[in-house]
Structure 1
């Protein structure tokens, strides 16, 4: 009797946008724009699924990723929008779907934009 051993792939909770190939960056930007303006939850979920697939991020809890919106630096991290260590940089405008969040690294290194 053979026994199969399965190993779990390590999670990749963030990627650096600048490290993505140019054509992937272009695709990412277009999908994020579409997600931000999605008319309904089904469309938004499908776009987020595509974004997660093209970036290779794994371990996303609620099928939503964002690019860091830190106002203190030029961070290019793309990360799980549900990360408990991320901080809101500004409230979401009416009519748009994507929140503006600081990645956990920036949240540790820079002032809290909403509070300061």
Structure 2
């Protein structure tokens, strides 16, 4: 006898322009709240709200972000623990800006001398 179970989607990415305007506002507000969080609890709560607004599931203490590619206008939103990501900058406030795996492949870092 087969048993079917309900499974949550396991997608680790979505795109900002696939979100409804309402969900975009929820995502933007949650990301802004995370950036301005005074402590880890507030930051983690804001990250969970951002993930939920984007339709993603992240573990407790996980993070989501929008691609910060400097070479194109990418609207990918992704779990920062995913494979193939690249840190492109760390801001003065210690926030890490990531490039999604697709942009990492499409726009590789030039070899420095």
Count of paired positions: 111
Partner of 1:90: 89
After TM superposition, the score normalised by the length of structure 2 is: 0.85
Structure 1's consecutive aligned runs of 4 or more residues displaced over 4 angstroms after TM superposition are none
Partner of 1:103: 100
Residues 10, 29 of structure 1: CA spacing in aligned structure 2 closer, same or farther, 3 A cutoff?
closer
- What does residue range 1-80 of structure 1 map to in structure 2 within 5 Å? 5-58=4-57, 60-61=58-59, 62-80=61-79
What is the CA–CA distance in structure 2 between the aligned matches of 1:30 and 1:7, rounded to whole Å? 31
Alpha-carbon displacement from aligned partner over 1:11-48 (angstroms, at most 9, x marks no partner): 11101101101121122111111101111000001111
Any stretches of 5+ residues in structure 2 without a counterpart?
Answer: none
What is the CA–CA distance in structure 1 between the aligned matches of 2:34 and 2:86, rounded to whole Å? 20
What is the CA–CA distance in structure 2 between the aligned matches of 1:56 and 1:39, rounded to whole Å? 25
What SS is found at the alignment partner of 2:98? Answer: strand
Any stretches of 5+ residues in structure 1 without a counterpart?
Answer: none
CA RMSD in angstroms, aligned pairs only: 2.3
